[in-house]
């Protein structure tokens, strides 16, 4: 092998070794970051995490993890109502007590929601008082009126 060829082979080997070292360094860094939980906020998480979450931070009366209103019964709602679907399904709905009651019944009959026992009353009270139908701000417009002429 002449010098030229040897140099070429050597530089190829150097390049290969460098690439391997850089890749390994990146992998190790990533593993450490993942293990330390530093990337948790970047990773997708499901609602089950909410249950195990240790942060119960409340800001302006809103439970940050779930977006639910902080009010008596909140913890029961988090424990029983955020396992199968997002808490948004609750906060984006508005019903009176009867409506919430029949939604729960429907989930029990068709979606395997468990018997809530004594907690049901507390949960219903929470839902009906925090997620009640919005009152209309003003009288609704009159529609389909047949006006008559005054004589």
- Contacts with ligand HEC by CB under 6 A lie at 80-81, 83-85, 89-90, 93, 103-104, 107, 111-113, 123, 127
Nearer to ligand HEC, 3 or 115 (CB): 115
Q: Do 42 and 49 meet the contact criterion of CB atoms below 8 Å apart?
A: no
Quickly list DSSP for 72-95: TTHHHHHHHHSSSS-THHHHT---
CB 132, min distance to ligand HEC, A = 13
Starting from the edge strand earliest in sequence, which strands make up the sheet with 68-69, in order?
Answer: 58-59, 62-63, 68-69
CB 71, min distance to ligand HEC, A = 14
Nearer to ligand HEC, 5 or 134 (CB): 134
Q: N- to C-terminal Cα distance for the chain?
A: 119
Spatial separation of the C-alpha atoms in residues 24 and 111, rounded to whole Å? 47
Nearer to ligand HEC, 14 or 93 (CB): 93
CB 104, min distance to ligand HEC, A = 5
CB 43, min distance to ligand HEC, A = 23
């Amino acid at each position: 092998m002449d010098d030229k060829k040897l140099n070429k082979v050597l530089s190829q080997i150097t390049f290969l070794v460098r690439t391997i070292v850089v890749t390994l360094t990146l992998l190790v860094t990533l593993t450490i970051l993942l293990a330390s939980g530093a990337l948790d906020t970047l990773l997708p998480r499901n609602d089950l995490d909410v249950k195990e979450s240790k942060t119960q931070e409340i800001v302006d009366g809103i439970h940050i993890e779930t977006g639910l209103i902080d009010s008596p019964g909140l913890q029961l709602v988090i424990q029983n109502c955020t396992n199968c679907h997002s808490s948004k399904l609750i906060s984006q709905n508005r019903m009176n007590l009867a409506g919430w009651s029949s939604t729960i019944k429907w989930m029990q009959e068709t979606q395997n929601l468990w018997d809530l026992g004594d907690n049901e009353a507390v949960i219903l009270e929470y839902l009906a008082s925090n997620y009640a139908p919005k009152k209309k701000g003003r009288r609704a417009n009159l529609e389909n009126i047949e006006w008559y002429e005054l004589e």
